[in-house]
Amino acid sequence: MVLQTTLNNFRWSMEYVVVIVVIIIVVANCERNSHREKLGLPRQKLSYIPLKTHMVSISGHSSGATAATHFYLANSKHVDGVALFSSIHYQCGSGGLYTLMPCLLGRGNTSDSVRSAEKYATAGLIDSLDNLREKRHYIYHGTQDAFIHFDNGLRVYQFYKAFSNHVKFEQFETLHAIPSKTCGIQCTGIPSTPGNGCSKCSFSVVYDGLNFIYNGELVESTATTCRAKYNHDGLTLVDQEEFISPLDSTVSMLSDAVLYTPPQCRVNSSLCSLHIAFHGCRHSIQNDGLDYIKCSGYLETADANNFIVLFPQVKQSAINAITLFHCWDLYGYTGPLYGTKLGSQNQVVFRMVSRIMYKEDDEKDVPSATNLSTWNNEDYYYDLDPEIVSKSRFKSRN
């Protein structure tokens, strides 16, 4: 009797396993490009856009703020400044989920972040930290943030203060969401719904952040309501997949990104600058549709200040628990050099920005997806000497 019960339990367990595996396979195949039909946006290949400047600005929320720091440090010579909303500090969670969780709870060491940045800069894996001295850095963290502890915001501030003369830290009693003037969940307290990454407050943190980057020269939008769901004007899906190496199985980026071009920039793009906005966990177009993009305040700020906005996108994948929630690489799931020029997500976004910024004849120094992905990330990482680092230690897989 006991044996029969055990066999029955085993049979039911195996059936559950089979059902779960089938569901995962079906969902993975169905979701690959299902966002396209759901969004109903025109889709095109990314192409050169003649802009006002070859410099960009960057911002991000949650894991997207961490991705913004990674891209900024790797390419700071091309960036005017960065605005970070609800971020962890550089390399705080590096190593795995077991190191990430204490970091999210506010346990971390800014001096370790500074040392990591200095080591990578010496190795040439990020741009010179001297570039940060006169650039502008805006840090925002809500005091009611239940997902990334408020102390992280203070440590992000301390990290940038170690290298820059221009760092601003702002706080308010907000949740783990982007404060927006137009729409979103309630600004404070316990929300009745999970929301779409935005909270309706008395201010727009996107405008405040970008306005600080540009030294108070921006104009605040007068829009008072969230952009209508049916209003897709200026929004386009752009092929992100062509910038992803087919050899890279851990990059966890969607086949499409979103590009927003205000009306005046469609008429004369040379009046406009490029801004890169990294979404937070759960708020990719695969999960949220266009809700996050429309409620966050980016479109209104772009309209009022001649910004073309590129929204790179992470996809949901079964690499680990973090990628199931559409998160950017917080701790190294793409490889140990995730926060450097060799980080695969950094490489994809860099190639996209280079396509926008430069004509084909000017792209001689821009590495291709295939070429860059042949560098052995792990071999280089473990060859690093903490005291004397040689850039000659790259090893090719071919």
Strand partners, 11: none
246-255 residue pLDDT tens: 888 889 999 9
- The DSSP symbol for 186 reads E
* Nearest C-alpha neighbor of 73 from the set 9, 25, 128, 22: 128
Domain count across the chain? 2
Claim to verify: residue 258 and residue 158 sit in the same structural domain: yes
Residue 398 counted as domain residue: no
Task: Tell me whether residue 302 is in a domain.
Answer: yes
Is residue 142 within 8 Å of 173, Cβ to Cβ? yes
193 torsion bin: left (phi>0), alpha (psi -120 to 50), beta (else):
beta
The amino acid at residue 131 is N
**Based on the domain organization, do 108 and 7 belong to the same domain?**
no
Cα distance between residue 200 and residue 363, in whole Å? 42
pLDDT tens digit sequence for 337-349: 999 999 999 999 9
Residue predicted with more confidence, 24 or 169: 169
Residues 6+ apart with CB under 8 A from 299: 227, 234, 260, 293, 309
3/264: higher pLDDT:
264
The residue with greater pLDDT, 33 or 122, is 122
pTM, full prediction: 0.85
Residues 7 and 75 placed together within one structural domain of the fold: no
CA distance 83 to 77: 16
Taking the C-alpha atoms of residue 274 and residue 55, their distance in angstroms, rounded to an integer, is: 8
Pair (62, 22) in one structural domain: no
For residues 165 and 200, membership in a common domain is answered with: yes
- Is residue 100 included in any domain, yes or no? yes
What is the C-alpha separation between 81 and 98, in angstroms, rounded?
31
Q: Measure the CA–CA gap between 362 and 2, rounded to whole angstroms.
A: 74
Residues 26 and 51 in one domain: no
* Dist. CA 199–CA 183, nearest whole Å: 6
| Predicted confidence (pLDDT) at residue 365 exceeds the cutoff of 80 | no
170 SS3 class: strand
Residues 271 and 165 in one domain: yes
Least confident of 33-37, 60-64, 93-97, 275-279: 33-37
Q: What is the pLDDT of residues 369-394, one digit of tens each?
A: 334 333 334 333 333 433 323 332 22
Same domain flag for 105 and 27: no
Quick check: helix, strand or coil at residue 48?
coil
Q: Is residue 55 part of a domain?
A: yes
For residue 276, the surrounding DSSP H or E stretch is strand 273-278
* Nearest in space to 197 (alpha carbons), one of 120, 296, 54, 271: 296
Task: Average the pLDDT over 307-314 and give the result.
Answer: 98
pLDDT at residue 359, as a whole number: 86
Q: Which residue type is seen at 279? A: H
| Greater pLDDT, 19 or 117 | 117
pLDDT of residue 86: 97
The answer to whether residue 37 sits within a structural domain is: no
Per-residue model confidence as pLDDT tens digits over 188-213: 887 767 788 999 999 999 999 999 99
* d(C-alpha 354, C-alpha 161), whole Å: 29
Phi and psi (nearest 5°) for 256?
-130, 150
C-beta atoms surrounding 384 within 10 Å:
18
Task: Write the pLDDT tens digit of every residue in 85-104.
Answer: 999 999 999 999 899 999 99
Distance of alpha carbon 237 from alpha carbon 163, whole angstroms: 37
**pLDDT higher than threshold 80 for residue 117:** yes
Indicate if 127 and 22 belong to the same structural domain.
no
1: pLDDT strictly greater than 60: no
User: Would you say residue 36 lies in a domain?
Assistant: no
Residue 70 forms part of a structural domain: yes
Both 207 and 352 in one domain: the answer is: yes
Three-class SS state of 259? strand
Q: Average model confidence (pLDDT) for the chain?
A: 85
| 385 and 271 part of one domain | yes
Q: Is residue 38, in this structure, part of any structural domain at all?
A: no
* Cβ neighbour number for residue 163 with a 10 Å cutoff: 20
Mean pLDDT, to the nearest integer, of 308-328? 88
Between residues 231 and 49, which one has the greater pLDDT?
49
Q: Which domain holds residue 8?
A: 2-31
Residue 247 makes CB contacts below 8 A (sequence gap 6+) with: 370, 373, 374
Confidence of residue 8 (pLDDT cuts 50, 70, 90): very low
Residue 112 CB neighbour total at 10 angstroms: 16
Placement of tokens 């009022």 in the chain? 304
Whether residues 170 and 278 fall in one domain: yes
| Range of weakest confidence among 6-15, 103-112, 117-126, 239-248 | 6-15
